[in-house]
Structure formats: structure tokens, C-alpha cells
């Protein structure tokens, strides 16, 4: 069978969204009137990266005599798409809006249905992700159109957000490339983005992070990300971690010489004094505590002796009879520890 010669350049296969990739690919096939099975097969094959092609190697080295494109499409969707169990688990495990707007959350939930018809639970899952004020306002809504419900929720959310933004002092910076909002967290040592379902498939690596409260946060490698803030583009290597909100930590500000202006709610580039405005958002800051690297032998030693980290100023008489103090005036001062003189 002859292969059609048509100029077409497909984007590299999206391992995180195979259904969306094939939808765009088949749209290009239709626009260029590509109908031959082998032509479609070779175009898709040329769009696979090294890892994806290796995964499909058994199918590529011995393709079936007919319906090559259909077989390759079915394999890629099965290998990289979510199963029904994973879709259901993701829907049931949703934990609030995160950095989504209500309409964006609804779109994401529809994509997780995988062609299934939404049932009455679908609306309740969506409603549970909304803030209490928005959910209470929608309690009497009679609309049966899910997307109309999301639009109504978004109007209420934006109106509520204007009144409650001052309750939270966490600045958020928006990446204009993706629209994703990043939490500006100067207390975090590293910058991180939430792990996707695809990231979690390979399992966590051996370099977990540690939150301020001592809990361990699983990580799934790192990713080079291009961030655009107010027309300025920055490249950063962000850790993929088991968190809900993308955050920029001290490593990002140090690398790009950025200063955080809390009063002005902006990021300032110290070299050029260009600034990027931030917004004050309603976000669960306590759940995004400062992240520290996990293994530190000195910290582990200190944790074995909590008494020296939490001194108590008691008026009770000490039993050992050895006391030494230095009189000071003015603000608190610090001096290094030193051995007492022999005559003391």
C-alpha cells in the first residue's frame, strides 16, 4: 500500500495527555485529508520521543499487517492514559480548588470522566471542592447544567475572593505561560510543583523532602520549567513533589536575585529593579509549610536532645552548684560558647 506524502509536523507525543494529543493529531489528519493507515502510523511514530518509542518497541519492530495506526493508538492510550480506577480515585481524592478556578476544576473533572456520563455524585464531588461561602450560596441553585453551575460558582468565588483576600498574607505569582499560580514561600528551601498521576506511576524516589512539622513529602524527580512573570522569562529546575500548590522557594529567589516585597506585594529583580506584581490569595498556607531537605545528620543529633533547643528560664535552684552569667545591657546579644577561667 502506498504511503501518502503530505507535509505535516506533529508535536511530540504528550505522555501526560494521550487522548488530547490524538484529538489534535486526527484534526491535522482531517485538515490535510490523510486517510491511509500507514501514513498515519508513520507520522505518529515520528512524533514519539526516545522513552515512549522504547516502551512501544515490541509493537514497532513487528507491526501487524493491517490497522497499524489503530493498534499503535490503542497501545499508547492504554500505556499512558488513566484507567477507570485511576480516574475514579483522582475524582474521589480531590482536595479543594487548589490553584484552579471553579470552571477549570469542572473542565478537569470532565476530562477525568473519560467519555462516561456524569451522575448525581459528579455534582456533589464538585460542590465539596468549593469554599464554604460559595457552596452555601449555590445550595439553592436549580441548574442541571454542570458547566453553567461552574460559571455561577466562579462568579461567586471571585466576588468572595475580593473580600477575603486580606485574610491571608501569602503572595501568589502567576505564570503567564500556563496561567498557574505559584505560592511565594521564602521559608521553603526549594521550589516545587505538584506531582501528576503520571509522575506517581513510577513511584517516589529516594530523596524525600521534609516539612516544617516533620512530615515527609515524597518526591518524583525534578523538571525544567520556563516561567514567565510580567513579561520576564525565567528557567528553573523545580522538584516534583506530593504537594497541592506550586511554590517558589529560596532557591529560585537566590538563583534569579529576586527580592520579595511583602508590603508592595511584588517580586523585585535586584539587578534591574524591575518588579512583578503578586496577588494575595486565599490558600491553605499551613498545608504548604516550608520544605527542607530530608537528610541532615546535625539536625538528627539535635532532635535527640530537645531540651537544649527549648531552654526553660526557671527560678528554681540548680543542683550542680555551678552557675555563670554575663551581665549585658541594651538589646539581646550573642556570644560564642567558651571555656570558663580556671579560677571561676
Distance between CA atoms of 90 and 182, rounded to whole angstroms? 22
Per-residue pLDDT of the chain (344 residues; tens, 9 = 90+): 444 555 788 888 888 788 888 889 999 898 888 888 888 888 888 888 888 888 888 888 888 888 888 888 888 888 887 777 877 887 887 777 766 788 888 888 888 887 777 877 888 888 888 888 888 888 777 777 888 888 888 888 877 654 333 333 455 565 544 557 788 887 788 888 888 877 787 788 878 887 766 678 888 888 888 787 766 778 888 888 888 888 888 888 888 888 888 888 888 888 878 888 877 665 544 333 434 444 567 777 877 877 776 666 666 676 777 667 777 777 776 667 677 666 65
Q: What is the pLDDT of residue 293?
A: 47
Residue with cell 498574607: 169
State how beta strands 181-184 and 216-217 pair. Answer: unpaired
Please give the pLDDT value at position 175. Answer: 54
- The predicted model scores a pTM of 0.42
Query: What 3 state SS string does the chain have?
Result: CCCCCCCCCCCCCCCCCHHHHHHHHHHHHHHCCCCCHHHHHHHHHHCCCHHHHHHCHHHHHCCCCCCHHHHHHHHHHHHHCCCHHHHHHHHHCCCCCCCCCHHHHHHHHHHHHCCCCCCHHHHHHHHHCCCHHHHHHHCCCCCCCHHHHHHHHHHHHHHHHHHHHHHCCCEEEECCCCCCEEEECCCCCCCEEECCHHHHHCCCCCCCEEECCCCEECEEEEEEEEEEECCEEEEEEEEEECCCCCEECHHHHHHCCEEEECCCCEEEECCCCCEEECEECCCCHHHCCCEEECCCHHHHHHHCCHHHHCCCCCCCCCCCCCCCCCCCCCCCCCCCCCCCCCCC
Question: What contacts 119, CB < 8 A, 6 or more positions away?
Answer: none
Q: What angle do CA 28, 31, 34 make, to 5 degrees?
A: 75
pLDDT for the residue numbered 335 = 67
Sheet holding 291-293, edge to edge: 216-217, 209-211, 291-293
Q: Which of 39, 76, 40 is nearest to 59 (CA)?
A: 76
**Structure confidence at residue 4 (pLDDT):** 53
Amino acid at each position: 500500500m502506498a504511503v501518502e506524502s503530505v507535509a505535516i509536523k506533529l508535536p511530540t507525543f504528550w505522555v501526560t495527555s494521550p487522548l488530547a494529543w490524538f484529538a489534535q493529531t486526527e484534526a491535522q489528519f482531517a485538515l490535510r485529508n490523510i486517510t491511509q493507515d500507514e501514513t498515519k502510523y508513520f507520522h505518529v511514530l515520528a512524533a514519539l520521543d526516545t522513552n515512549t518509542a522504547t516502551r512501544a518497541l515490541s509493537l514497532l519492530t513487528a507491526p501487524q499487517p493491517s490497522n497499524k495506526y489503530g493498534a499503535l493508538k490503542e497501545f499508547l492510550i492504554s500505556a499512558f492514559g488513566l484507567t477507570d480506577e485511576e480516574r475514579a480515585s483522582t475524582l474521589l481524592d480531590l482536595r479543594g480548588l487548589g490553584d484552579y478556578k471553579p470552571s477549570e476544576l469542572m473542565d478537569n473533572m470532565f476530562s477525568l470522566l473519560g467519555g462516561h456520563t456524569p451522575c448525581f455524585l459528579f455534582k456533589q464531588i464538585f460542590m465539596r471542592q468549593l469554599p464554604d461561602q460559595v457552596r452555601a450560596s449555590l445550595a439553592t441553585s436549580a441548574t442541571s447544567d454542570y458547566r453553567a453551575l461552574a460559571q455561577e460558582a466562579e462568579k461567586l468565588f471571585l466576588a468572595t475572593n475580593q473580600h477575603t483576600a486580606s485574610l491571608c498574607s501569602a503572595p501568589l505569582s502567576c505564570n503567564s505561560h500556563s496561567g498557574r499560580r505559584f505560592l511565594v514561600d521564602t521559608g521553603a528551601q526549594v521550589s516545587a510543583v505538584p506531582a501528576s498521576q503520571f509522575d506517581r506511576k513510577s513511584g517516589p524516589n529516594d530523596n524525600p523532602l521534609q516539612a516544617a512539622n516533620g512530615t515527609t513529602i515524597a518526591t518524583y524527580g525534578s523538571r525544567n520549567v520556563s516561567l514567565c512573570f510580567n513579561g520576564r522569562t525565567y528557567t528553573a529546575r523545580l522538584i516534583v513533589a506530593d504537594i497541592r500548590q506550586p511554590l517558589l522557594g529560596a532557591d529560585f529567589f537566590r538563583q534569579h536575585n529576586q527580592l520579595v516585597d511583602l508590603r508592595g506585594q511584588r517580586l523585585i529583580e535586584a539587578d534591574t529593579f524591575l518588579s512583578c506584581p503578586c496577588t494575595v490569595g486565599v490558600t491553605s498556607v499551613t498545608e504548604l509549610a516550608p520544605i527542607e531537605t530530608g537528610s541532615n545528620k546535625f539536625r538528627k543529633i539535635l532532635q535527640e536532645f530537645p531540651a537544649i533547643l527549648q531552654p526553660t528560664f526557671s527560678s528554681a535552684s540548680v543542683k550542680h552548684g555551678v552557675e555563670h552569667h554575663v551581665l549585658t545591657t541594651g538589646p539581646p546579644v550573642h556570644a560564642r560558647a567558651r571555656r570558663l577561667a580556671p579560677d571561676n
